[in-house]
Structure 1
């Protein structure tokens, strides 16, 4: 009987592969589920309860991702008209501090991008948000 050889990895190599692809996406989950279905033992098929549990986990994962995306959108839109401070990398890789009023928000590849003057700032780079009305009131009371 002929048996194909099996390639093995050391645990260090395996952990490197896992760290590089630590984020599983929806497509990855579906591929794993399809592979599990295709390669199951026909004499001992997967329990239908286990299959239903996996589908429920997939559904809840998808819903959490959608909620996270909607929350980011809401946070970004709420910043329009507010003063923000952010740290962004320059072309030389140096971190640059910028501040200004958020003029608009756009979404690219599921990421919220704030337009501050002529600079596009990813939402994740914002370090501080101030309401311009509050800042005006403080400066008026100081006089």
Structure 2
């Protein structure tokens, strides 16, 4: 039986974390973070007021995935919202309960921290993730996601 643990991101495991982000970029057909972005990721994770939190899923001592989240605020609920930014498991490690363990950890953190809800987005083509979330009881919202990149500010 494989032992799955969830470990908080540290300066020591940060290079593993960024290598997992690069693998997620390949999966999502996106440009991976370059050196400048990696420096900001590190600064933002370990500053006095971190902009996000990250945790690694480790299976028998080997990193197999990660999760990142941060908090927003709902004026209607007057409570924080945990926003799940990334949940990623290496392809060769999928179907072993690692994604479930990361997702449940995130849900637990939202409850523990008194959040009113947990939000995230999923790419429309990512059918395995959509099925996973819907099987977990999550409901798709009737909102459209819009974005400005920094060149439009």
TM more than 0.5: no
Larger helix share, 1 or 2:
1
The alignment's TM-score, normalised by the length of structure 2, stands at 0.23
Higher RCO by CA contacts (8 Å cutoff, separation 6 or greater) = 2
